[in-house]
């Protein structure tokens, strides 16, 4: 079976630093694969190596079964990249920017016009066709950046943190566009350090730390890795250290943390009733304004595997 992308034993060193450490993974055709990792975990370096923009020490990259190299122009035609830093021309309008990038691949004017219109429609920036990049908000600028990267209808797409510092409306629009591209047949690598997004749109997730894969699977299968089954969260003013310690002593509790008026009680695997915790709260006369439960998040997975949070 041919994969959209195969990375085998990739090693990239910057002087002493091993930024990518023996990375191997595949991207199936028609899926969104998330590379989730904190700042500096090697996401961008991995993408730049895959694209032959960076030389690397070891490893093989195959794209749709063919070995990638700096001169593999036939492969590059099928690739679209949306870089972490916005790269558009300030002196061109929205339309002309997208048309410029399209023109690198598509000669026919009529077809080009149609592709540009479709890219504009995909990221919903139709009202801004005649605007210059400087006139756009951060979110709209990112959407323009995406339109430029996908306009030639590539089969393999790389999105490197496309939603950093964008407003919620643009963020949703961007995530929806990526899912639509996947539904229309593209294969997608999506990097982020926002676990909620990765969880929302990715079919599979690779968790990276210090250039290594520390876990891989669907969001659900990754969450099955953690020992915490469920968390109970109480909103209240204060809890004493002695109370926290006593709470941790309950047989169904694996951890209890009080932070910013939130008491988070992690329950052990297989816990079927939360009654002992509620009874304990009552006995302690701890009154809370709100209580709710949460399933473990990908941050909990990261925390258990590395001992630190995704956004440290
Ligand atoms: N040109 C370079 N020279 C030396 N070190 C570099 C260079 N580029 C990146 N690094 C280092 O390599 C490691 C991986 O960086 P990379 O940018 O790939 O991480 P990232 O996961 O994309 O992070 P971010 O979320 O901040 O974008 C980091 O420790 C970084 O400091
Ligand atoms: Mg990066």
Task: Kindly report, residue by residue over 21-37, the tens digit of the pLDDT.
Answer: 999 999 999 999 999 99
Collapsing DSSP to helix, strand or coil, 149 comes out as: helix
For residue 251, the domain's CATH number is 3.30.70.980
Q: What angle do CA 7, 9, 10 make, to 5 degrees?
A: 70
Residue 302 lies in a domain: no
- The answer on 285 and 187 residing in a single domain is no
> What percent of the chain has a predicted confidence (pLDDT) above 70?
98
Query: Which of 19, 84, 192, 194, when mutated, tests ligand 1's pocket best, judged by the most ligand atoms within 8 Å of its CB?
Result: 19
Helix locations, 79-135, DSSP H? 94-103, 109-122
Residue 228's pLDDT is what?
Answer: 64
If asked whether residues 70 and 129 sit together in one domain, one would say yes
Nearest CA to ligand 1 atom 16: 42
Ligand approaching nearest to the C-alpha of 40: 1
Q: How far apart are the first and last CA of the chain?
A: 39
Going by the DSSP 8-state scheme, the letter that residue 4 receives in this structure is S
**Dist. CA 192 → ligand 1 center (Å):** 14
Ligand 1 atom, smallest distance to 41 CA: 21
Place of tokens 């323009």: 144
- pLDDT at residue 250 greater than cutoff 70: yes
pLDDT tens, 179-197?
Answer: 999 999 999 999 998 888 9
Ligand that comes closest to the CA of residue 37: 1
Same domain, 124 and 259: no
84 or 118, which is more confident? 118
- The parent domain of residue 261 ranges over 230-295
Average model confidence (pLDDT) across the chain: 93
Alpha-carbon distance values, 106 to 102, 115, 128, 149, 151 (Å): 6, 9, 23, 13, 10
Do 167 and 258 reside in the same domain of the chain? no
- In 89-217, DSSP assigns E strands to 156-160, 187-192, 204-209, 212-217
Residue 94 lies in a domain: yes
Q: How confident is the model at residue 296 (pLDDT cuts 50, 70, 90)?
A: confident
Residue 307 confidence class, pLDDT cut points 50, 70, 90: confident
In this structure, are residues 62 and 3 in contact, taking their beta carbons and an 8 Å threshold? yes
Q: What is the pTM of this model?
A: 0.85
pLDDT, mean of residues 245-266: 92
Contact at 8 Å (CB) between 59 and 50?
A: no
- Asked if residue 109 is part of any domain, the answer here is yes
> Helix, strand, coil % (nearest 5) of the chain?
35, 25, 40
CATH code, 213: 3.40.50.300
| For range 262-267, the mean pLDDT | 92
In a domain, 271, yes or no: yes
Give the pLDDT score at 241. 93
* Any domain includes 308: no
Q: What letter would DSSP give residue 244?
A: H
Query: How many angstroms does the Cα of residue 32 sit away from the middle of ligand 2?
Result: 18
pLDDT tier at 295 (50, 70, 90 boundaries)?
A: confident
Residue with tokens 């790389």: 158
What domain count does the chain have? 2
The per-residue pLDDT for 267 is 87
pLDDT value, residue 84:
87
Pocket of ligand 1 (CB under 6 A): 14, 17, 19, 37, 39-45, 84, 193
Please report which ligand is nearest the Cα atom of 21. 1
Is the residue at 311 inside a domain?
Answer: no
């Amino acid at each position: 079976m041919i994969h959209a992308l195969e990375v085998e034993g990739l090693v990239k060193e910057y002087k002493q630093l091993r930024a990518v450490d023996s990375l191997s993974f595949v991207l199936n055709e028609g899926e969104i694969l998330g590379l989730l990792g904190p700042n500096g975990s090697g996401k961008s370096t991995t993408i730049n190596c895959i694209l032959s923009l960076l030389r690397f020490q070891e490893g093989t990259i195959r794209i749709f079964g063919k070995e990638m190299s700096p001169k593999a122009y036939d492969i590059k035609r099928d690739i679209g990249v949306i870089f972490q830093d916005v790269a558009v021309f300030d002196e061109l309008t929205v339309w002309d920017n997208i048309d410029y990038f399209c023109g690198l691949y598509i000669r026919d004017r009529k077809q080009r016009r149609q592709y540009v219109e479709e890219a504009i429609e995909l990221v919903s920036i139709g009202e801004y066709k005649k605007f210059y990049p400087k006139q756009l908000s951060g979110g709209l600028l990112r959407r323009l950046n995406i339109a430029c990267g996908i306009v030639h209808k590539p089969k393999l797409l790389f999105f490197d943190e496309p939603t950093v510092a964008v407003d919620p409306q643009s963020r949703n629009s961007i995530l929806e566009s990526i899912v639509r591209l996947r539904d229309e047949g593209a294969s997608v690598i999506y990097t982020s350090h926002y676990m909620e997004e990765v969880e929302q749109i990715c079919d599979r997730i690779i968790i990276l730390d210090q250039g290594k894969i520390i876990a891989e699977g669907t969001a659900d299968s990754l969450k099955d890795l953690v020992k915490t089954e469920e968390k109970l969260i109480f909103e209240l003013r204060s809890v004493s250290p002695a109370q926290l310690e006593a709470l941790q002593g309950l047989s169904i509790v694996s951890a209890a943390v009080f932070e910013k008026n939130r008491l988070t009680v992690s329950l052990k695997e297989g816990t079927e009733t939360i009654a002992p915790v509620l009874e304990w709260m009552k006995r302690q006369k701890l009154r809370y304004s709100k209580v709710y439960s949460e399933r473990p998040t990908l941050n909990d997975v990261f925390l258990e595997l590395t001992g630190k949070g995704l956004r440290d």
